Amino acid sequence: MAMKEEIVRKIAILSRINVSDDELDNISRELGSIIDWIELLKEVDTQSVEPMTGGTDIKSFKREDIVNDGGYQEKILKNAPSKNDNLFEVPKVVE
């Protein structure tokens, strides 16, 4: 079933993707058929199954609290489209 166009528009905004009006129809149908396909999984009974977090049996690993990273300002800022005085510069975002 095709996805509602208003939902497609909303997802597009949340994903920061520009979708023009004449693309909407096609995307609605494509996303709809993906959802339908995923819906199939609901038919499996998973009531008593814990969510799986990986294919191996490893437990969470913890780091020691040591400073051993950072201190490379120039690398962090290297790809910035615009910078000023070691700060990233972006269009004004103000509340």
Sign of CA dihedral 86, 90, 92, 95: negative
Using a 10 angstrom Cβ sphere, with 0-12 exposed, 13-18 middle and 19 or more buried, the burial of residue 24 is middle
Q: Which stretch binds other proteins (CB under 8 A): 23-31, 34-42, 55-63?
A: 55-63
Q: Which of 18, 38, 54, 55: binder of other proteins (CB under 8 A)?
A: 54
Can you read off the two tokens belonging to residue 27? Answer: 């995307």
**In the complex, minimum distance from the CB of residue 27 to other proteins, in angstroms, rounded to a whole number:** 18
Which residues of the chain form contacts with other proteins (CB under 8 A)? 10, 13-14, 16, 51, 53-54, 58-71, 73, 75-77, 84-95
